[in-house]
Amino acid sequence: MGASGSKSRGLWPFASPAAGGGGPEGPGGQQALARARAARAATPFVFTRRGSMYYDEDGDLAHEFYEETIVTKNGRKRAKLKRIHKNLIPQGIVKLEHPRIHVDFPVIICEV
């Protein structure tokens, strides 16, 4: 429990080659060696993230979009907000203002 799937597949970028990332003798030979070399060059910082907002048809950017509809009930007109789910485009990759430490990087930030 507590191990992420990326560690078990040998794709964890902060693992040392001897810590189970697979050696050149194991399955995959050259690929495992290339992965071990790439692990040393990995940085503990994250510079981008996936955006959580969406663009609508007009190019407006927001987390959620609503449309006002008029509902008639018992002869009374009432305005109601209906959430829009269609024709929304995800924001995409967003550059972070300040680099963050990767969630899988094993470091103690503050000790009490």
Tens-place pLDDT, residues 6-38:
555 555 555 555 555 444 455 566 666 565 555
Task: Give residue limits of the domains in the chain.
Answer: 31-101
Lowest-pLDDT range of 1-10, 28-37, 55-64, 73-82: 1-10
Lowest-pLDDT range of 15-19, 68-72, 74-78: 15-19
CB neighbour list of residue 49: distance below 8 Å, 6 or more residues apart:
93, 94, 96
10 Å Cβ neighbour count for 102? 15
| 24: three-class secondary structure by DSSP | coil
